[in-house]
Amino acid sequence: MSNLVKPGVTIKGTKEGLLFLLDETRPFSALLEEIRHKLEHVSSQIWDGPDTPVMIKLGRRQITRDEEKELRQVFSIRKNLIVRSIEAEGMPYLADSSSGIKLLCGTIRSGQVLEHRGDLLFLGDVNPGGCIRSTGSIYVLGALRGLAHAGSEGDESVIIAASVFRPTQLRIAEVISRPPDEWDESEVGMRFAYLLDSQIAVDSVHDLGQLRPELEWREKRFKSL
């Protein structure tokens, strides 16, 4: 560890306890090793003093549950160090696995309810009488014939998309809507629902880029790099 020019882990003493600042540019495993080295080999009276709260700041880095477990494991070397908080800069410190989208498959049949937290990609059909509900967005690769409720805890920025878009009812946050009695059968292709002026609107996915420019992929962005 001595060959590092600048330490990846900076320790600061504050009134509340010890602040561990982790360099986000270093690999996480190297940081763990550095912390372990410091805790094990650097003799200092802080390690053996009374119970000390520890705050860990990850910088602009998110870690997985396994990484968090490892991190806490390292700190358990010194019994008097109590990990009180783990924080990342401007985002939740825990990264949900596979880029935040959960993938599930199957058939949601009449009377069945699939509930989920976060964005959900569902491979299969949601049949009439079945219900798919999530706090985030819902993407159905299959036929959506039942009820879909996205943003079930009030998030109004979510969307519901399905390759075969034939829902009996749609809900986004608190807004409830049903498709017109005579569905326009001429509309082919994938469609999605979103909130527009507290009403649910349905459009072709081709229009999604205009509504959510931050989601849109453009080739020239990459060319300019």
Partner 1 sequence: MGESIVVTSGKGGVGKTTTSANIGTALALEGRKVCLVDTDIGLRNLDVLLGLENRIVYDLVDVIEGNCTHQQALIKDKRCDTLFLIPAAQSKDKSAVSSQQLRDLIAELKEEFDYVIIDCPAGIELGFKNAVVGADQAIVVTTPENTAVRDADRVIGLLEKEDVGKPKLIVNRYRPQLVKDGGMMKVDDVVNILAIDLLGVVPDDESIIRAGSQGEPAVFEAKCPAGRAYRNVARRIQGEVVPLLPLEKRGGFFFKLKSWLGIR
Residues of this chain that interact with partner 1 (CB under 8 A) are 107, 109-112, 124-125, 127-130, 143, 145
Nearest to 215, CA basis, from 155, 113, 137: 137
Would you say 151 or 167 has its CB closer to partner 1? Answer: 167
132 beta partners: 114, 148
Number of H helices, E strands in the chain: 5, 15
Give the pairing of strands 160-165 and 175-177: unpaired
Would you say 107 or 157 has its CB closer to partner 1? Answer: 107
Give the shortest CB-143-to-partner 1 separation in angstroms: 8
Would you say 119 or 125 has its CB closer to partner 1? Answer: 125
Give the shortest CB-145-to-partner 1 separation in angstroms: 7
Give the shortest CB-104-to-partner 1 separation in angstroms: 15
Beta strand segments in the chain, E: 9-13, 18-22, 52-57, 81-87, 101-108, 113-116, 119-126, 131-134, 138-144, 147-150, 160-165, 169-172, 175-177, 191-196, 199-204
Give the shortest CB-109-to-partner 1 separation in angstroms: 4
- Tell me the longest C-alpha to C-alpha distance in the chain: 77
Give the shortest CB-101-to-partner 1 separation in angstroms: 23
Would you say 112 or 177 has its CB closer to partner 1? Answer: 112
Would you say 31 or 126 has its CB closer to partner 1? Answer: 126
